[in-house]
Amino acid sequence: MHAKGAQLLEVSRSNSTVAGNVAVLPGQRSVAFYPASDLAYNAEVFVDVEYGDQMVSRTTYRTRALPTLLGGTVMDSLGQALAGIDVQLADTSRHAITDRDGVYSFGFGDRADNALRGGRYRLLVNPNQKDKRYSTVERWVNLQEGRLQQERSVNLPALNDAVPYRLVSGGKADISLADGELRLDLANATLTFPDGARSGGVHAQLLQFHELSKPYAPHAVPLWVYNLQPSGIEVDGDYGVRITMPQLNGSHDYLVIKRFYALMVGSSDDGSALVPVAVGLVENNQLVSVGQIHTKRLEQFGFAMLPFALQPPFEAYAKGEISWDALQSIVLSEMNRPVVEETTP
């Protein structure tokens, strides 16, 4: 079986005779049967051995279960296949290298005693930035036992080598990243890097919508995000984020309203998606987090524009009059409200 083009076919052949050939082995005491084609997975095989008119033995056995298979592709931000990228299933010894078509696969050709099991796995693409030209992307996949799952393509953002890494650690009130476009207040927070260190080099750069590698909540579509590498930095404690709003065609004229509240988007705690994480105040072309940031991963931070009708509950949250959960409920209710078209009688 090969990763590309594999297709699962379910076939039932009840008590069908298996064609094949018999060979007498040296010593004239053993006989081998060679089936003309491979037996099916998860099949119950009945074996009747006859000599002349006598039934010598009757046995049955079951072939190995269907393997659990995973396949996918890795692309760059322009949709071009990336070859030679390491892909790992975290907390296992399994890894694969993408071929010239950007394809990776797991489970194909495995021995029965080393078969991939169904379950939830953390997929790491370019772990620990083995290829320094690209980011690390983390994704969770749920594998169904005995099935082939084709994972959606992974978009692997390229790192801008003109942007330097900055030494980052907790306990500092003003940390500048991305040439000052992204600033962190970690005065009351501590960091844990993927290698267990409390400080380390951090690279931050702006990603446009088409470069995003994680799924996002339908009610909070980010226009852009700042992507921090290495992936998986954990933050403990309260912290703040300040972002200079990116320019569009060389200006901030697209910010027609000069002061408003917006939804800040960031990585979920398990790294699986981009989700709402905070409220931000946009003023003087700056996006500043208001109140607590609801993610423990210092990984991605972005901006989502919501209907202006949501400004009152956002302001109420900023004043401490409603909780984060209450605000989330109001946002979901408003975004899921059916559109009613007015007609003239």
Per-residue model confidence as pLDDT tens digits over 74-100: 999 888 999 999 999 998 889 999 999
State mean pLDDT over 269-292: 94
pLDDT tens across 28-44, in order?
988 899 999 888 888 89
- CA geometry: angle 108, 110, 115, nearest 5 deg: 105
pLDDT of residue 344: 45
pLDDT of residue 210: 85
pLDDT tens across 287-297, in order?
999 999 999 99
pTM of the model: 0.78
The mean pLDDT of the chain is 90
Instruction: Let me know: does 206 contact 287? Beta carbons within 8 Å.
Output: no
State mean pLDDT over 274-294: 95
The two structure tokens encoding residue 44: 């119950």
pLDDT of residue 62: 92
58 sits in which H/E element:
strand 54-62
pLDDT of residue 4: 60
| Percentage of the chain exceeding pLDDT 90 | 64
For residues 87 and 69, give the distance between their C-alpha atoms in angstroms, rounded to a whole number.
15
Nearest C-alpha neighbor of 95 from the set 69, 125, 68, 66: 125
For residues 13 and 163, give the distance between their C-alpha atoms in angstroms, rounded to a whole number.
62
pLDDT of residue 329: 93
pLDDT of residue 6: 64
Rounded alpha-carbon distances, angstroms, from residue 230 to 75, 188, 195, 222, 253 = 19, 21, 10, 21, 33
Residue-range domains of the chain with CATH? 20-62 (no CATH), 69-155 (2.60.40.1120), 166-335 (2.60.220)
Nearest C-alpha neighbor of 67 from the set 23, 107, 98: 107
Pairing of strands 148-150, 69-75: parallel
For residues 174 and 241, give the distance between their C-alpha atoms in angstroms, rounded to a whole number.
10
pLDDT of residue 5: 63
Instruction: Let me know: does 89 contact 121? Beta carbons within 8 Å.
Output: yes
Could you write out the DSSP letters of every residue in 114-151? GPPPPEEEEEEESGGGSSTTB--EEEEEEEPTT-EEEP
**340 pLDDT higher than 60:** no
State mean pLDDT over 208-221: 86
**71 Cβ contact partners less than 8 Å away, ≥ 6 residues apart:** 3, 4, 6, 103, 104, 105, 106, 148, 149, 150, 151
